[in-house]
Amino acid sequence: MTTPSSLLRPFSKLLTIELLGRKVEVPENNPLLRCLQYLAPEPISYGRFCWNEDCQYCRVTYDMGEGTQERAALSCKLLVAEGMRIKEVSQEIRFCLRDWNKN
């Protein structure tokens, strides 16, 4: 299996985003689903994700901070940005993050 770090697009810094109420640091310049894989490598790698905007199992709801509009997106396509707040995730993502979320 390829290590998750080699799957990431090149990055020079980490961005802080909020994931289900927790602040986390993830690599800039990468789609959110790849960043979730960075946080929970094995479960996301074994998740039922197509990684190409087909399966819809990677849906999230997010905003860009207090008072900004909430949006729905596919996390395999959505590039992370500083301050992004992931409010809701699909059942598949929630399942994959179940152990990470306990830490």
Residue spans of beta strands (DSSP E) within the chain: 14-19, 22-27, 59-63, 71-74, 85-89
Q: How many amino acids of this chain bind ligand FES (CB under 6 A)?
A: 12
Find the residue with minimal CB distance to ligand FES: 76
Interacting span for ligand FES (CB under 6 A) from 21-29, 36-44, 53-61, 93-101: 53-61
Q: Least distance (Å) from ligand FES to the CB of residue 40?
A: 15
Q: How many CB atoms lie within 10 A of CB 88?
A: 13
53 is a contact residue toward ligand FES (CB under 6 A): yes
Sign (positive or negative) of CA dihedral 9, 93, 39, 46: negative
74 is a contact residue toward ligand FES (CB under 6 A): yes
Q: Which of 8, 11, 29, 51 binds ligand FES (CB under 6 A)?
A: 51
**CA angle at residue 46 from 10 to 11, to 5 degrees?**
10
Longest dimension (CA), the chain: 42
For ligand FES, the binding residues (CB under 6 A) are 33, 49-51, 53-58, 74, 76
